[in-house]
Amino acid sequence: MKKLLGTIALAVIAATGPAAAQDYPDQAVTLVVPYGPGGASDLAGRALAETAQPYLGQPVTVMNKPGAGGMNGARSVSEADADGYTLLLARVGMALSPAVTPGNAVPWDAYTFLGALEATPMILAVRADAPYDSVEDLVTAIEDSNGGMTYAASGATAIDGFTTQALLADNDLDPLTAATLVPYKGGGALATALLGGHVDFVAMAAGSLMPHIESGDLKALMVFAPKRMDTLPDVATAAELGYEKAGQIAGWSALYGPKDLPEEVTAKWQDVLAEVATDEKWLDLAARRGSISTIGDVDMSDYAQSQYELFHGLAQDFGYLSN
């Protein structure tokens, strides 16, 4: 009798275990956006949620969990159950923060990497009436100013600080003293500072600059992105112009989950993302945000590691971390 009950129990497990996994998802999936509503990461998260739902077969609910430079939301996902029902709209900060503040940030590899989503270009821009028509013009002016030229950024070790510092380093200028950083909070404030003449240039997220570039109030000198923007086809990328460090910097979004997600979950999302990659709604929403869809273009685990190593190396080179 015991043998019979054991056989029945094994049969039940065999029938329900894999079947349950194969039924993923059987409820809504929560997508944590680790920044506040209305920003680039929030827009990307909501675009993914809207586009993925038909292919996933369940709703994708966006939950904003801002704070600590994105680490509050990132940590909540890294510590969530590895069942595929809590995922993260990851941003470049998930690689940058642990590279620069390793004691306070979630490690870059504390996740299952489900796939890249988009590149979010950064733009080097000046006012339309500025006497600089190329990156070379601007760099020459910076060099001649002996630290007198100013730029706006969220912080020295924020992505929009590293853009300028990498460009300075690529031109054999001191990344910390050749130009003076003036801190502002948020993309809108950075753009306003440039428009108002409070700083000489910025190198920051395209989304906050494009309306002013399109209106003719600002001009773009260079793009930090893996390829040129469709909306600025005549503006070269940093890599095209031969800048080694600056050429590796770009904003990005990706889809992460807690570490050790089941194979059935990762396979399902690979299928979903393959559908999203060619979905007209996804591509249209990306274009509206000034983003470049990168689904399927890179191995996200390798790319995340390379981004961590890039920013960790820059932090050491620029003196933010000891070697």
- First-last CA distance in the chain: 67
Report pLDDT digits (tens) over 139-195: 999 999 999 999 999 889 999 999 999 999 999 999 999 999 999 887 788 999 999
Which CATH superfamily groups domain 122-248? Periplasmic binding protein-like II (3.40.190.10)
Residues of the chain with CATH 3.40.190.150: 28-121+250-317
Average of per-residue pLDDT across 75-103: 96
Over 60: is that where the pLDDT of 4 sits? no
Q: Which amino acid is located at 30 in the chain?
A: T
Report pLDDT digits (tens) over 279-321: 999 999 998 888 999 999 999 999 999 999 999 999 999 999 8
Classify strands 150-153 and 180-183 as parallel, antiparallel or unpaired: parallel
Q: What is the DSSP string of 291-311?
A: -EE-TTTS-HHHHHHHHHHHH
Across the chain, mean pLDDT equals: 91
- Give the torsion sign (CA, 134, 137, 141, 143): positive
Contact 60, 52 (CB under 8 A): yes
Closest CA to 206 of 276, 283, 292: 292
Q: What whole-number distance in Å separates Cα of residue 18 and Cα of residue 281?
A: 33
What's 28-121+250-317's CATH class?
alpha beta
Query: Which pLDDT value is given to residue 323?
Result: 65
Report pLDDT digits (tens) over 52-78: 999 999 999 999 999 888 999 999 999
3-state SS record for 73-104: HHHHHHCCCCCCCEEEEEECHHHHHHHHCCCC
Per-residue tokens: 30: 């929560």
Residues of the chain with CATH 3.40.190.10: 122-248
Closest CA to 190 of 123, 252, 136, 120: 123
Q: What whole-number distance in Å separates Cα of residue 238 and Cα of residue 230?
A: 16
Q: Give the three-class secondary structure for 143.
A: helix
Q: What is the DSSP string of 199-219?
A: SSEEEEEHHHHHHHHHTTSEE
Q: What whole-number distance in Å separates Cα of residue 187 and Cα of residue 195?
A: 12
